[in-house]
Structure 1
Amino acid sequence: MVIVEEISKQQLKGELSPSLLGLKRLKHLDLSCNDFGSIQVPEFIGSLGNLRYLNLSSSGFSGIIPPQLGNISQLHTLCLGSFQDDVWGERTSVVNMEWLSNLRLLRHLDMSNVNISKAMDWFQVINTLPSLAELYLSYSNLLDAHPHVPSLNITSLTLLDLSDNEFIDHSLVPQWIWLHVSRNTFINSSLVLKELSSGSGSNLISLDISFCDISSTALDSLHNLTSLLSLDLSSNLLTNIIPKSLGNFCNLRDVDLSSNVFENISLTSLLESFLECKSPHLQSLSISESGLSGHLPNQLGQLMHMKHLDLSINQISGTIPDSIRLLSFLRTSNLPGNQISGPIPLWIGGFSLLEVLDLSVNHLNGSLPDSIGRLSLLKRLFLSYNQFNGSLPNSLGQLSKLEELRFSSNFLTGVVTETHLVKLVHLKVLLGDGNNLILRPRLANWIPPFQLQRLYLNSWNARYVKTVGCPYKATTLELLDLSSNRFGGKLPDILNGSILKVLDLSGNIFVGSLHHLLCSDGVKTKEMFNLGNNSLSGVIPECWEKWQSLSVLNLEYNNFSGGFPRSLSHVRNLQSLSMRGNKLEGKLPASLMNLTNLMILDLSGNELAGCIPSWVGTKVSSLVLLNLRSNKFVGKIPHEGHEYMYNTILKLMRLLDLSNNKLVGHIPSELTTLIELKSLNLSRNHLTGRIPEKIGDLKELESFDLSLNKLSGELPMSLSSLHSLSNFNVSYNNLRNHLTGRIPEKIGDLKELESFDLSLNKLSGELPMSLSSLHSLSNFNVSYNNLSEPCSRVETPDADQEEDDGSHGVDWGLIISVLSGFIAGFWVVLVPLIVSRSWRIAYFRFLSELGYMVYDVTNKIFSM
């Protein structure tokens, strides 16, 4: 006898066969979480008359739901909805819902993400279902629940989900026990809450009205909801202290006030209303990301039934009060992203039920207490980005339930042995980078007891890969970071048989060729590959066609030679490529134009030659950062016939560095259309002509270096429009710069200017009075001009330093290395780097200072 047919989550494709009708006694059919490719729900399913349970949710169905489903009169559960993230292509819909009225036994109906906007009879049909207990109509394109919702008269209905619709009017609410109306835009939120609280609203047990623009003044209406057990007011516009009327909510178990705007309000004040109850029953409290300030109050200890506490990402300061030890039922404690200081109390081991402890990104200090080892149920321990010192307690090795352990970026020292890891059999994630620890197992053949998914052990002073035991060979490992250690010798055979997606071995002393690692059999699934800052050598192998999934590749600062690998063009998903600081030579192969997703390209500090190919802009159209500094490129900067490239394709460009090459010709005026450009460096070339008059169109420009060229003409007046400019250098380009005229009077409008170098030109006149308004200016050099104001003598550079090899100071390697550190959340890392001013300012300041070392200034001056 076939009673149950459950083939969910199998990613089935294609069409459903009518052969299912042969299962005459089928009562339970679950086809959820598959991919049927936007086919319509088959009509023949309506002939499976014995079904009690039918689940077709999140399976890629589309079109009109067949009314034949109304023939399954024995149904108790009908799931036709989907999660919002699962919707692709055309959604399912209904024209009318009359067929539902035949399902008199229906208890659970889920039509989330089903478009029912044309079914004007939905509320009338629902009224005919006397057994219905749970109704889910979220994301259903309902425009207004009023006046339909109050006309529902179903005594059995206990849960109604109308969230994420398009309600703009208030909705009268009958006596349902659970009500979910989040993500609607009510015109009058006060009226909504008032009607909820009146009449039968006092029976309401669970209320989710998050994301509804509820203001603090509307909360006074909630005083009559004395039966509430769960209240979600997250992601609203609450700004003030919760009114004391909420003190009537002595039955509350779960409260979520996260993502509101409690600026300058202390946690003590906010909790005052809840603490009015003589015996509060609160079990879950979340007030994350709400701007809370003040200390953790002693009164927290009164919430003795608390199981889940989330106060993450606020401005809470002070130490952890002793009263918290009274929360003996605590299971999760999330306090990251605050300013909590002091040590972790010794009594922390008393939380025998604790499963999650997150204290990361605070100001906690002192040594980690040995009592942590008594948290026998702990699954996740996050301690990163604090100021902990001392050694790791041996008791950590006793946390047999632990799945994630993170203690990155502290001041921990000492030796880590197998004792610290001995019972961590369930450990999946280990992040311990940014400390001063040494991994040194006592047993030479020690094998870790866990199968990790992510391992960060950078800067652990490890010398041999075998010292790490065998975690890098774990078949479950997806991310491995062994950077900045002292691993040496040939690269280990890490890739074969692994599912690694991210591998970072940078900052070690590996030697030899890449061939055995890159060209082994099988397709590679890696997404991020970082071997920068080693001593690898030889020609980069031509077997990149196996690396189709690669997004980030960093081979910078090694000793690779030969030509640029042509087969790299097969890596179509590549987004970041750095090969700076090697000995690559020859021309850039035209096949690289296939890398259309490339956003970051850094080939600086090599021996690449020839002209800069125009396809760098026309084909590789996603470039945000381009660094070709310190090569042997010749010819002009591509511009003739490429106006479209500058005006449209390169609009995303933020940083452009073509310095220290042998480029000639004038500065293309088309460069002034790169309106998002923040840093432009064309120094140390042989450029001639004038600075483009429209340079003032680059409103976002912060660093601008044209030094060591052969430019002439006057400074364009539009320079005063560069209000974001911090560093400007047009000094002695090969000591043959002939910039003339006066310094623009409005130069004082550049309020952000920090470094200003016009030295070794032929500027005349007086210094503009507006210079006195540049309060941020820290480096000002106008020496060796024809100005009438006195100026100081320029410092004489070292004659023997003739080239910038990119090996000193702040450089692009830091940028690319940081960027290449994480493939997951690529833009989370990329955007701050591009937006940040500090490193760009330091970078260009470094280059301008280095320029003075290029030639013997004294001799050149006398030759002018």
Structure 2
Amino acid sequence: MSACSSFSHYTRCYLCLLAVVALFHLCLCSPNFDDVLCMEGERQALLEFKEGLIDEADRLASWLRHLDLSCNAFGWMEVPKFIGSLENIKHLNLSYSEFSGTIPPQLGNLSQLNVLSLGESGELMNMRWLSSLHQLHHLDLSGADLSKHDWLEVINTLPSLVELHLSSCQLVDMHHHVSSLNITSLSLLDLSFNNFNSSLPLWIFSITSLVSLDLTLCNFHGPIPSSFRNLTSLQVLHVSENDFMNSSLVFEELSNSNLISLDIRSCGVSSSVLDSLHNLTSLLNLYISDNQLTMTPPKSLCNFCNLKEVDFSHNHYFQSISLTYLLESFLECKTPALESLVLSSLGLSGQLPSQLGLLSSLRALYLSSNLISGQLPNSIGMLSFLRTLDLSYNLISGHIPFSIGQLSLLEVLFLQDNNLNGSLPDSIGRLSSLKELHLSYNQLEGSLPNSLSELSNLEEFYFFSNSLTGVVTETHFAKLFNLKYLYGGGNNLTLRLRHANWIPPFQLQRLNLNSWRLGPQFPLWLQSQNVSDPINKPNPIKKMIIINNNGTNPPPSKSIVDPHLLPSPTRSLPNLCHVDMSYNHIQGTLSSFPERLRSLDLRSNDFSGKLPHLSDMPPVLLDLSNNYFEGSLHHMLCPYKGDGMRVLNLGNNRLSGVIPECWENWTWLIVLNLENNNLSGGIPRTLSSLYNLKSLNMHGNKLSGRLPDSLLNLTNLKILQLGGNELVGSIPTWLGTKLSFLTLVNLRSNKFDGNVPTEICYLAYIQILDLADNNLVGNIPRCFNNFSVFSGKQNASDGSFWYRSVVVPEIVTASDSLVMKGREDTYSTILPLVLLLDLSNNNLSGPIPSELTALTKLKTLNLSRNHLTGTIPEKIGDMKSLETCDISRNKLFGELPLRRVPSGTQLQSFDESSFFGNQLCGAPLADRCIEVERPGTKDHEKDDGSHGAESADWGLVISMVLGFIFGFWVIVAPLIVSKSWRIGYFRLLSKLRYMVYDVIHKYCFNIFTK
């Protein structure tokens, strides 16, 4: 019986242990907490198993010594209080397991604890319970908010503490005055990522047992205590992003230490301070990026033959440094131990030397963003241990060497943004470990090699914007089982599948095949990109940019995609997030699209019929412009709530009817474009609900009525385009007072009347103001000099003309139809560069206000076809940036002002048509000016003219006088005064005469002798 009882006892204990292990290790540790490795069915089964166990004797608490629940996903539940009853436990790790709430003080009952790790496990309402853990050797409270606690007082009660991790604890008080320190056994102290904003406390240097000290991003600054020499056991010092390290005193004290790892990134270290490092020959890791190294690194680097990792990146040298010089410093060691070399963004010049292959231990080489030129050396294949090679953003040319295939351990290869040409070598298929391959923005030619199919571990393949040609078949993808990102746009490639029902071996998340030829049928294989991964976690395609010409070329004569085949495969991808199929000839109707779309760009196709129905989760960006959609807006907009939609572009279609009054459901909109349709009726008042709106474009419709006062609520509006309609009434004063952030206002070709309101002068940021082709009357406001951008008081901004969302990374660019030089064009990309004021074809009268000449940055001015009178302002030449100016067909008279200042704009440089239809004279007009007396103007004009001529001629007079003085006193006067100068001068003339005579004589002699 006793044997049976004993067996039962151990069986029950074993089952309890199994339950705990199974329950708390449901998911394997992973740095990405979303990538859990268990299925929901298994999770429920384990929970049911645990509930079926009974531990009445609480035997589990009596013998459990080690409990590690780190790196799990407990759904932000609180740390269970019963853990505090496991009184014999010595090792407890709850770090990074999605615990939240208050850490239970019952953990203070675990008096046997040696290791306690609570990183990112919740909040500490009270730290006092830690004082009872006298046997604690290792304490990790990283991520806990300790700003309200006297943390050092509590920590000082733990005399056995060896490791202390308090990273990112929002500490601000460093406790500079400590009477007695009890943690003198500490070997590791991590206070990184806290904002102390003070000097270093002296008590740190009394912990002479410290082996590792991490003060990264603590905002410590001087004065520096002369105490680093006390830390005789220090081997690891990480103090990046602190100012106190820019001191030669610190390095002199560390020069005789046994440091093996030194991190002084972003510390403001200068080149002179760096010279003090020459004695640290035991260093294994040296990180010194983002400093102020302006001189060439010292040759003493050759003494550091034990170095394994070096990071010199992102320093600002005054002169270009030779890459060969730096590499020779490391090659002077007989057996270089270097494993990681980071020399990015240093302005390195020269070529990659063939000696590079001698760094045989290299595992990572980063040389991006430099000025390295020449070709890739064949010796690069000797780096047989290399796992990461980054040569991006340089000037490297030539072919990719065949020897690249010898790097069988290579996992990451970045060669983008260089001048590489030729074809991809077949040997690239030998890179069996490769996971990321970036070849974009080069000049690679030829076709993709079939050997690419051998890269079975490849996850990311970027090769867009090259000159690749040829045919791509399913053979190229045969073994790319792990491919997730495929970006091959901007090449002249053709996808030709031998089997129409081909199913790719991969599951893509990002796809870009713009400018490829994918026809004659729409790629049906896309519908296979929605399969779950082996652990039942969705791995769907999220972004698809295919068959997109980007508008750089006219659409091909034959459609890339069969124009009669709808893109129905996209509907079988419910998790699809981003689709761009713009600039094609896709025809048909759209009834709906996948619910989870975040952006859909179908502009510039041949879609027709009614607008599609939206889902309950509309996309953030929807662009259906430049198609043939027709009918009303009502059935698309009004039945739904447009929560989340930021950009809606339905411009350039055949939509008709009135704009519905249901915009209160679309409050997230930032860009609304309905231009060039057949919409009629008035502007809906509910547009006032769009308080986030920044761009409103209803240009080119048949809208009528007045501007509703409700628009004054659109206080964030920057672009207002209502031109080409039938709007009436006066321009409201609130346009300037309430919508003061406007940078573009286009109201041309309407029926506005009344005066130009002076309140419009409040538009300080205006860059384009187009009020042409209306019935405006009265004078031009004299306050136009308040336009800060036009007058140069403020720089022009391009931020108002484009929109980019974090959710939708594509840039949405504004466009506008403007008339310049007598021609109407649509401006988009260069729209931010346009500075235009157009008041033409109205009934404006009175003189051109002289204040207008203060608009020195204005580039286009059009006041033509009005009834303006008087003369042209004399200072119009101050408008130095004017590129086009049209004041034709007015009632102006007098002489065109002549400016002799070369830097100023001269009216004489404009075409004669710019002044046609006035009573003006002077160049460039054929009518030359004759003095004609005008009542009340004779004396005034004479005074002005004489004064202008006098002031303009002074420069000519002064230059002539100075020229005469220089010519006479420097050249002629010495000849008169000095006899020796005269003799030498005439001798020179005689010599020149004989030389010329000899040349002519020899030339003539040679001709006659022939």
Instruction: Answer yes or no: same fold by TM over 0.5.
Output: yes
1:703 aligns with one of 813, 822, 835: 835
After TM superposition, give the deviation of residue 772 of structure 1 in Å: 3.4
Give the conservation status (yes or no) of the 8 Å contact 1:754–1:778: no
Q: Structure 2 matches for 1:731-746, cutoff 5 A? A: 731-732=863-864, 735-738=865-868, 740-745=870-875
User: Over aligned residues, Cα RMSD in angstroms?
Assistant: 3.5
Give the conservation status (yes or no) of the 8 Å contact 2:246–2:270: no
Q: State the AA in 2 paired with 1:79.
A: D
Alpha-carbon distance in 1 for matches of 2:711, 2:485? 40
Give the conservation status (yes or no) of the 8 Å contact 1:162–1:180: yes
Alpha-carbon distance in 1 for matches of 2:367, 2:340? 11
Q: State the AA in 1 paired with 2:352.
A: L
Q: State the AA in 1 paired with 2:224.
A: H
Aligned residue for 2:307?
252
2:217 aligns with one of 140, 155, 163: 163
Give the conservation status (yes or no) of the 8 Å contact 1:75–1:103: yes
1:767 aligns with one of 894, 897, 900: 897
Q: Secondary structure at the match of 1:465?
A: coil
- Is residue 755 from structure 1 mapped to residue 816 from structure 2 by the alignment? no
Q: Measured at CA, do residues 744 and 646 of structure 1 come closer, stay the same or move farther in structure 2, by a change above 3 Å?
A: farther
Alpha-carbon distance in 2 for matches of 1:312, 1:469? 35
Q: Secondary structure at the match of 1:128?
A: coil
Alpha-carbon distance in 2 for matches of 1:588, 1:333? 58
Q: Measured at CA, do residues 237 and 403 of structure 1 come closer, stay the same or move farther in structure 2, by a change above 3 Å?
A: same
- Is residue 549 from structure 1 mapped to residue 549 from structure 2 by the alignment? no
Give the conservation status (yes or no) of the 8 Å contact 1:163–1:180: no
Aligned residue for 1:4?
67
Q: State the AA in 1 paired with 2:582.
A: S
After TM superposition, give the deviation of residue 703 of structure 1 in Å: 1.1
Give the conservation status (yes or no) of the 8 Å contact 1:338–1:362: yes
Give the conservation status (yes or no) of the 8 Å contact 1:130–1:154: yes
2:563 aligns with one of 478, 481, 488: 488
Q: Secondary structure at the match of 1:494?
A: helix
1:223 aligns with one of 260, 278, 282: 278
Q: Measured at CA, do residues 208 and 756 of structure 1 come closer, stay the same or move farther in structure 2, by a change above 3 Å?
A: farther
Give the conservation status (yes or no) of the 8 Å contact 2:159–2:182: no
1:183 aligns with one of 241, 261, 266: 241
In the superposition, the TM-score normalised over structure 1's length comes to 0.80
- Is residue 99 from structure 1 mapped to residue 154 from structure 2 by the alignment? yes
- Is residue 623 from structure 1 mapped to residue 755 from structure 2 by the alignment? no
- Is residue 232 from structure 1 mapped to residue 287 from structure 2 by the alignment? yes
Alpha-carbon distance in 2 for matches of 1:153, 1:723? 68
2:316 aligns with one of 242, 261, 264: 261
Q: Secondary structure at the match of 2:910?
A: strand
Aligned residue for 1:21?
84
Alpha-carbon displacement from aligned partner over 1:418-472 (angstroms, at most 9, x marks no partner): 1122211111111112222222211100112111111112222334433554366
The 10-residue stretch of structure 1 (121-130 or 289-298) with the greater mean CA deviation from structure 2: 121-130
Q: Measured at CA, do residues 236 and 188 of structure 1 come closer, stay the same or move farther in structure 2, by a change above 3 Å?
A: closer
Alpha-carbon displacement from aligned partner over 1:354-400 (angstroms, at most 9, x marks no partner): 11111112222222222222211111111112222222222222211
Alpha-carbon distance in 2 for matches of 1:271, 1:149? 38
Alpha-carbon displacement from aligned partner over 1:491-525 (angstroms, at most 9, x marks no partner): 53635662333222322334455443377796437
Aligned residue for 1:811?
none
Q: State the AA in 2 paired with 1:432.
A: G
After TM superposition, give the deviation of residue 14 of structure 1 in Å: 6.8
Q: Secondary structure at the match of 1:186?
A: helix
Alpha-carbon distance in 1 for matches of 2:199, 2:153? 20
Alpha-carbon distance in 1 for matches of 2:424, 2:181? 58
Aligned residue for 1:153?
208
Alpha-carbon distance in 2 for matches of 1:570, 1:777? 53
Q: State the AA in 1 paired with 2:221.
A: F
2:733 aligns with one of 639, 647, 650: 639
Q: Which runs of 5+ in 2 are unaligned?
A: 1-16, 21-65, 532-538, 550-559, 596-611, 791-833, 928-1010
Alpha-carbon distance in 2 for matches of 1:336, 1:617? 50
Q: Measured at CA, do residues 363 and 99 of structure 1 come closer, stay the same or move farther in structure 2, by a change above 3 Å?
A: same
Alpha-carbon displacement from aligned partner over 1:170-196 (angstroms, at most 9, x marks no partner): 354324211111111238433333333
Alpha-carbon displacement from aligned partner over 1:549-580 (angstroms, at most 9, x marks no partner): 33334444343444446556534444334343
- Is residue 303 from structure 1 mapped to residue 359 from structure 2 by the alignment? yes
Aligned residue for 1:71?
132
Give the conservation status (yes or no) of the 8 Å contact 1:585–1:607: yes
Bigger-Rg structure (1/2): 2
Q: State the AA in 1 paired with 2:267.
A: C
Q: Structure 2 matches for 1:211-610, cutoff 5 A? A: 211-268=266-323, 269-463=325-519, 464-467=521-524, 469-470=526-527, 473=530, 476-482=540-546, 483-484=548-549, 486=561, 488-489=563-564, 490=566, 492=568, 494=570, 498-517=574-593, 523-524=616-617, 526-540=619-633, 541-542=636-637, 545=640, 548-564=643-659, 569-610=664-705
Q: Measured at CA, do residues 152 and 387 of structure 1 come closer, stay the same or move farther in structure 2, by a change above 3 Å?
A: same
2:109 aligns with one of 30, 47, 52: 47
Q: Measured at CA, do residues 476 and 329 of structure 1 come closer, stay the same or move farther in structure 2, by a change above 3 Å?
A: same
Alpha-carbon distance in 1 for matches of 2:737, 2:774? 25
Alpha-carbon displacement from aligned partner over 1:635-677 (angstroms, at most 9, x marks no partner): 343324x665245xx2xx4444333433334444444433334
Aligned residue for 1:783?
915
Alpha-carbon distance in 2 for matches of 1:571, 1:23? 56
Q: Measured at CA, do residues 692 and 59 of structure 1 come closer, stay the same or move farther in structure 2, by a change above 3 Å?
A: farther
After TM superposition, give the deviation of residue 65 of structure 1 in Å: 4.9
Give the conservation status (yes or no) of the 8 Å contact 1:600–1:626: yes
Alpha-carbon distance in 2 for matches of 1:777, 1:393? 62
Q: Measured at CA, do residues 608 and 741 of structure 1 come closer, stay the same or move farther in structure 2, by a change above 3 Å?
A: same
Aligned residue for 2:806?
none
Give the conservation status (yes or no) of the 8 Å contact 1:478–1:500: yes
1:128 aligns with one of 166, 183, 201: 183
Q: Measured at CA, do residues 91 and 478 of structure 1 come closer, stay the same or move farther in structure 2, by a change above 3 Å?
A: farther
Alpha-carbon distance in 2 for matches of 1:617, 1:487? 47
Q: State the AA in 2 paired with 1:318.
A: G
Q: Which runs of 5+ in 1 are unaligned?
A: 795-864
Alpha-carbon displacement from aligned partner over 1:741-798 (angstroms, at most 9, x marks no partner): 3245263453x4433444444444323315732589998343314433233699xxxx
Give the conservation status (yes or no) of the 8 Å contact 2:340–2:363: yes
Q: Measured at CA, do residues 687 and 341 of structure 1 come closer, stay the same or move farther in structure 2, by a change above 3 Å?
A: farther
Alpha-carbon distance in 2 for matches of 1:441, 1:122? 76
Q: State the AA in 2 paired with 1:355.
A: E
Alpha-carbon distance in 2 for matches of 1:495, 1:40? 46
- Is residue 611 from structure 1 mapped to residue 706 from structure 2 by the alignment? yes
Q: Secondary structure at the match of 1:480?
A: strand
Give the conservation status (yes or no) of the 8 Å contact 1:417–1:439: yes
Q: State the AA in 1 paired with 2:92.
A: H
Give the conservation status (yes or no) of the 8 Å contact 1:215–1:237: yes
Q: Secondary structure at the match of 1:772?
A: coil
Q: Structure 2 matches for 1:57-68, cutoff 5 A? A: 57-58=119-120, 61=123, 65-68=126-129
Q: State the AA in 2 paired with 1:160.
A: D
After TM superposition, give the deviation of residue 126 of structure 1 in Å: 7.1
Alpha-carbon displacement from aligned partner over 1:334-372 (angstroms, at most 9, x marks no partner): 222222222222222222111111111222222222222
